[in-house]
Structure 1
Amino acid sequence: MTETTVHTEERLRLRKRIIGVLLRNARERANKTKQECADALGVSPDLIADYEAGEAEISLPELETLAFLFNCPPDHFWRQDADLIPEPDSPPISDVLTLRHRIVGALLRQARLEAGKTQKELAALIGRSDKVISDYEYGERPIPIVELELLAQALHIPIEHFLDAQRGPLGRIHREREINRRFEQLPIEIREFVTHPLNVKYLEVAMRLAEMEVDRLRSIAEGLLDITY
């Protein structure tokens, strides 16, 4: 075993423990049981305990699913200062896991091809076989998040590239929560203005202006000045 291999294994082991601590923290703050987590993922409570202890490898879609269950942003697991946003009555989300595994795999394959890498090269990076990488890319096997982080680094893309940003139900709901969080941070007078029905037209005009090029905006402003004076 080479020194590089030993270093990689130690790094993966440490990351699993850190993710496990963050996972348990989020679960406890959300007042969820291991059984509830297990039901959402379709696994056993013992496996959830192993995830939290850093003794088992959890995939990104599974982390996203648990983040949804805990009402927290997915990046809570690699950005420790992320806020936990409470939102009751969340719909069931276990049925999207299979789809998410396939999407993450497809994104990995696309990134690998664009980087000109082979499955063998990626396999060597994480100490896996070519067959495992193939299974990852076709969504036939969940990709442990610690391995996905290494693969993302090797392909020079952020881990956020694999998040369900707007590709599916989890992404849309997380996006809505983020919008709600930002809205709550606005001054009360702005929130009142935005939510007043009579101001919708003003907001629509502002949105159209925001999409215009600078030269076009300057032309409109000059036209308004000519009318005014």
Structure 2
Amino acid sequence: METKHALSIRNKIVGTLVRRARLQAGMTQSDCAEVLGISTSAFARYERGERGISLPQLEVLAYVLDVPLHALCNEDSEPPGRSADAGALPLDRILQLRTKIIGVQLRKARESVGLSVEDLALALDCPERVVTEYELGRREMSVAELELAARECGLTLDDLIKDDTRPVSEAEREHQVLARVAELSPEVREFVLNPTNDLYLRIGMKLNSLDADTLRRIAETILDITY
């Protein structure tokens, strides 16, 4: 009973974060439901936390809503405004593929710590056949369930989503780059974003890769030339 209650609370948190990001992106429940290939009423249940959304679905939503994936998982994350229109990707295929990949990751993690299907089923408070369907990629697993399963296997949700081969990870990387650029002072940001300064930036990157002795010799040579 405690497991079910904890999963229910987590589903409500994720649903609230999804709703917040959707509203900020100016999209309707119908828009998001169409992307996921589900009914509007089913998507509304996700937002109300009445049903757990899967990680592949969450990844696709993060891409479409133009927010980092963690903005839909972490209560402390603030979703940024949309920076660009999301390009066309075979999202239905991505959902199927990611569901299977996560199933394989889960099975490997379970076996690596010596857990049986029965053990994981007990932890998730579900039948063994459901765990088997999860691992075969035949059944979607809610983020709340996946977090619990990962924890039982000594992992975190981050261990399952840090894979750079995810089809939607490029959009998330762009968000991370933009966030770091935004932290720069206005003067530095203007310099970095000016294409004519590309050569100077490359020189700086090259110098940054050199050891202290090499930098010292370069500095001494410049002083000799100057004076």
Fold conserved (TM > 0.5)? yes
Q: Which residue does the alignment assign to 2:161?
A: 163
Q: Distance in 2 between matches of 1:177 and 1:157?
A: 25
Q: Secondary structure at the match of 1:169?
A: coil
Q: Which residue does the alignment assign to 2:187?
A: 189
The structure-2 alpha-carbon separation of the partners of 1:87 and 1:193, relative to structure 1 and needing over 3 Å to count, comes to closer
Q: Which stretch of structure 1 is more off in the superposition, 191-200 or 6-15?
A: 191-200
Q: Which stretch of structure 1 is more off in the superposition, 39-48 or 86-95?
A: 86-95
What does 1:45-60 correspond to in 2, within 5 Å? Answer: 45-60=40-55
Q: Which residue does the alignment assign to 2:3?
A: 8
Q: Distance in 2 between matches of 1:152 and 1:43?
A: 26
Is the contact between residue 15 and residue 146 of structure 1 (CA under 8 Å) also seen in structure 2?
yes
Q: 1:170-190: per-residue Cα shift (whole Å, max 9, x none)?
A: 111111122122212322221
Q: Which residue does the alignment assign to 2:217?
A: 223
Question: What are the ranges of 5 or more consecutive residues in structure 2 without an aligned counterpart?
Answer: none
What does 1:94-113 correspond to in 2, within 5 Å? Answer: 94-95=91-92, 96-113=94-111
Q: Which residue does the alignment assign to 1:3?
A: none
Is the contact between residue 16 and residue 48 of structure 2 (CA under 8 Å) also seen in structure 1?
yes
Cα deviation for residue 202 of structure 1 reads 3.5
Alignment-mate amino acid for residue 3 of structure 2: T
Q: Distance in 1 between matches of 2:114 and 2:216?
A: 51
- Correspondence 1:88 to 2:74: no
The structure-2 alpha-carbon separation of the partners of 1:204 and 1:127, relative to structure 1 and needing over 3 Å to count, comes to same
Q: 1:31-86: per-residue Cα shift (whole Å, max 9, x none)?
A: 21111111110011110111112111210111111122222221123322323221
Task: Select 1:67's aligned residue among 62, 82, 86.
Answer: 62
The structure-2 alpha-carbon separation of the partners of 1:65 and 1:221, relative to structure 1 and needing over 3 Å to count, comes to same
Q: Distance in 2 between matches of 1:64 and 1:17?
A: 17
Cα deviation for residue 107 of structure 1 reads 2.0
Alignment-mate amino acid for residue 27 of structure 1: R
Is the contact between residue 73 and residue 83 of structure 1 (CA under 8 Å) also seen in structure 2?
no
Alignment-mate amino acid for residue 190 of structure 1: V
The structure-2 alpha-carbon separation of the partners of 1:218 and 1:147, relative to structure 1 and needing over 3 Å to count, comes to same
Q: Distance in 2 between matches of 1:59 and 1:41?
A: 11
Q: 1:121-174: per-residue Cα shift (whole Å, max 9, x none)?
A: 211110223332222223221111110010121122221122265213311111
Question: What are the ranges of 5 or more consecutive residues in structure 1 without an aligned counterpart?
Answer: 1-5
Is the contact between residue 164 and residue 170 of structure 1 (CA under 8 Å) also seen in structure 2?
no
Q: Distance in 1 between matches of 2:203 and 2:135?
A: 44
Identity %: 32
Q: Give the alignment's TM-score, normalised by structure 2.
A: 0.85
Alignment-mate amino acid for residue 116 of structure 2: T
Q: Give the alignment's TM-score, normalised by structure 1.
A: 0.85
Cα deviation for residue 198 of structure 1 reads 4.5
The structure-2 alpha-carbon separation of the partners of 1:221 and 1:164, relative to structure 1 and needing over 3 Å to count, comes to closer
Tell me which of the two structures has the higher relative contact order, counting C-alpha pairs closer than 8 angstroms and 6 or more residues apart. 2
Q: Distance in 1 between matches of 2:171 and 2:100?
A: 19
Alignment-mate amino acid for residue 159 of structure 1: L
Q: 1:2-37: per-residue Cα shift (whole Å, max 9, x none)?
A: xxxx21111111111222222222222222111111
Q: Distance in 1 between matches of 2:104 and 2:123?
A: 19
Alignment-mate amino acid for residue 14 of structure 1: I
The structure-2 alpha-carbon separation of the partners of 1:132 and 1:196, relative to structure 1 and needing over 3 Å to count, comes to same
Alignment-mate amino acid for residue 41 of structure 1: L
Cα deviation for residue 110 of structure 1 reads 2.6
